Structure 1
Amino acid sequence: MKRSSPSVERQTKEKSLVTVICTCYNQAEYVVQALESIVCQTYRPIELKIIDNGSTDHSKAKIKSWLKENNNKIPVKTFFYDQKLNYCKAFNQAFESSNGDYMVDLAADDFFEPKHLEFAMTHLSQSDAKVYFCNSFEHFPSGKSQTFYPTDALGKASGKVASGNVFAELIRRYAISSPTLVMDARAFEEIGCYDESLNYEDFDILVRMSSRYSFVYGDHITVNKRMLKESLSQQQYRSRKSHLLPSTYQVCKKIATMVTTKAEKKALQQRLIHEIKHATVSANFEVAQKMLDLYNELYPLGVSYVFFSLWTIAKVDFSSLYEKWRQKPFK
């Protein structure tokens, strides 16, 4: 994928252009707030790409109505699809038309605080990092909210947050709130953008970007993420029929070819056991077996491997109990 070259006029500007790509699929209730949060940013210049990925509710009407009132505030380009596309493919098509030096992926059910991009660009300009991230608020339908990183009385992260070389940490666990990412667009393009063979993007792009580039953390809470049962991020361990776990397996296979240090190999071992456990307990036995086979190729067999291997062979289905546990935060 090759984007058009930046204009001479933009190259001479002191401040970098940020492209925000907002993707909507049946999020009519939330999309206006997401779009408003972009035009309300204190940082400029910004360009906006809006994708409606085949919504069957009234999302398109909401977007078109918003555009009539706001189209002149920042440059906007829209992509309306009649049928739902693979998320990564739809995003890459919008990215290909972008001109930004930096890029943001915003789901239409999330939204930013006004200083999000201002803080991000300050941190990026003061470091050699290619990716910025920060803390976020997670909002549940029950009315409960929490921060991604626990905070103290002043709203600052109460524990140490990994920064710089975060590759091993991202292999091991979900250590970064992906909606907060602001990425160098050229670096994103150089690693091949989103992998269109996958059904979701965040785990893969985090590990690929962190394998080559430094990350910088800003201790701000400037992103709001809605934790909705129907959102893509909540379908990872869907009982019996997760369409995301096969992509997780593919990413783990990629990581196996990337790890070199003892810490990175240990991190992948921990990740595989985590994914095997959840795939097994959620009764996604086919992908659990593939994960077990990958583990068997890379590591000596231990108690956890044997336990979940026997469980997978027996196909004992406790997924209904697992599903009740998984849905607790939404009640």
Structure 2
Amino acid sequence: MADPTALPLVSVICLCYNHERFIAEALDSVLAQTYPNLEIIIMDDCSTDNSVAVIQEYVRQYPQLTFLSTGTNQGNTRAFNLAWRASKGAYVIDFATDDVLLPERVAQQVAAFEKLDDTYGVVYSDAEYIDDEGRHVRFHYKRNQRGEVISFAPSGDIFQHLLGRYFICPPTMMMKRQVFEELQGYDETLAYEDFDFWVRSSRRYKYFFLDAITTKRRLHANSLSKQLYKPGDRQLTSTVLVCRKATKLVQSAGEKSALTRRLQYEARHAYLTGHYQQAEQFLDLLRQHAGLGPVYRTLHLINKLKVDLRFLRILYQKILRR
């Protein structure tokens, strides 16, 4: 039998904050991985529910688990950085403990990485969305009747694509340790990490799409993505900061055009959710980056006046749900 330690070490960083309802299933899914050379680190960000008691019971049963705590609530980006800096794996997975890994996840992604050259830093894949009770909702990518992915899922140099649109399901990513070392981890000033990581890492490294469903991503009311555009949410301000970084990274006309579309999109949605300050910031970036055409000059004016048109976005969403 082959020595498991001859295979690359993979660090699975299990981030927990008030995941008492889901953490047992999440940890079971990590322990059930068919890949034999794993480092499993559980980082609790000062949960206020019964999560820590569940984690402690798992650590008692499975001594290969490492349990860390932030001491005080730090937020996702800081909690993850503490954990990955304590890890040793050649590859890293950022795993929220309300999600589920399918048994072949790590083995499939390591096998994909081992076939790629050193210019690749991230492997991502398809995911199944599930609800609070674990029931199927949908898959991240659309497929035809033959099971082939027909959604946008590129490989290679995808910096321009990542500027212009969302298409990666974040919990499906496996990343080289070298990427984190060069980027010095996540930006801890931000409320969320995905967009910033994509922009900074894809400027330096290629991405590979693995055509496999490797992860179950849970959709529930308390998830971070559900807070976007709600009053007081810090994610929109973080998006402004990432877009500001991106303006300094674009190098081609195509990349400039993609970022222009992003800024236009973010400005519209910030305005139509009543986030007038952030809308102003996006519009200011757009003005500096590409200029304001007639539509966005008008948007700039009505945003200044705080004309409340939030009902238009609500109406549009109702039409989409029909």
**TM-score, scaled relative to structure 1:** 0.89
Instruction: Give the corresponding residue for 1:170.
Output: 162
Q: Is the 8 A contact 2:272 2:310 kept in 1?
A: yes
CA distance in 2, matches of 1:116, 1:290: 40
Establish whether residue 83 from structure 1 lines up as the match of residue 72 from structure 2: yes
Q: Hey, what's the Cα distance between the residues in 2 that align with 1:85 and 1:323?
A: 33
Q: Secondary structure at the match of 1:106?
A: strand
Aligned to 1:298: 289
What amino acid is aligned across from residue 265 of structure 2 in structure 1?
H
Q: Tell me the alpha carbon deviations over residues 208-244 of structure 1, each in whole angstroms, 9 at most, x when there is no partner.
A: 1111001111100111111222111222222x32211
Matches within 5 A, 1:1-331: 13-71=5-63, 75-128=64-117, 129-141=120-132, 145-238=137-230, 240-319=231-310, 322=313
Q: State the shift of 1:324 in Å.
A: 8.4
What is the CA deviation profile of residues 44-80 of structure 1, one whole-angstrom value per residue up to 9, with x for unaligned ones?
2000111111111111111112222223xxx322122
Once residues 56 and 289 of structure 1 are traced to their aligned partners in structure 2, the CA distance between those partners, rounded to angstroms, is 36
CA distance in 2, matches of 1:316, 1:32: 47
CA distance in 2, matches of 1:302, 1:257: 22
Q: 1:141: how far off?
A: 4.8
Q: Is the 2:272–2:312 Cα contact (8 Å) retained in structure 1?
A: no
What per-residue deviation string (whole Å, max 9, x for no partner) do you get for residues 187-215 of structure 1? 22112210111111011001111110011
Q: CA 1:151–1:199 in 2, change beyond 3 Å: closer, same or farther?
A: same
Deviation at 1:328, TM superposition (A): 10
Worse-matched range after superposition: 21-30 or 307-316: 307-316
Any gaps of 5 or more consecutive residues in structure 1? 1-9
Contact 1:21 1:104 in 2 (8 A): yes
Q: How far apart are 1:82 and its partner, in Å?
A: 4.5
| 2:42 counterpart SS class | strand
Q: Deviations over 1:89-111 (max 9, x none)?
A: 11111111101000000011111
Whether the 8 Å contact between 1:242 and 1:284 is mirrored in structure 2 is no
Asked whether the equivalents of residues 102 and 182 of structure 1 are also in contact (C-alpha less than 8 Å), the reply is: yes
For this pair of structures, how many residues does the alignment match?
Answer: 316
| CA offsets 1:158-206 (integer angstroms, 9 cap, x no match) | 2452111111111111121111000000122112210111111011001
Alignment RMSD (CA, Å): 2.3
* Aligned-partner residue type, residue 22 of structure 2: Y
Cα 1:315–1:192 change in 2 (3 A) is: same
Describe the shift of the 1:102–1:324 C-alpha distance in structure 2 as closer, same or farther (beyond 3 A).
Answer: farther
Alpha-carbon separation, structure 2, partners of 1:29 and 1:325: 34
CA distance in 2, matches of 1:166, 1:147: 22
> Which letter maps to 2:88?
N
Q: 2:128–2:136: 8 Å Cα contact kept in structure 1?
A: no
2:131–2:220 Cα contact (<8 Å) kept: yes
Q: Match of 2:182, as an amino acid?
A: E
TM-score normalised per structure 2: 0.91
Structure 2 SS opposite 1:197 = coil
Deviation at 1:273, TM superposition (A): 0.7
- Greater shift, 296-305 or 265-274, is seen at 296-305
Identity in percent: 33
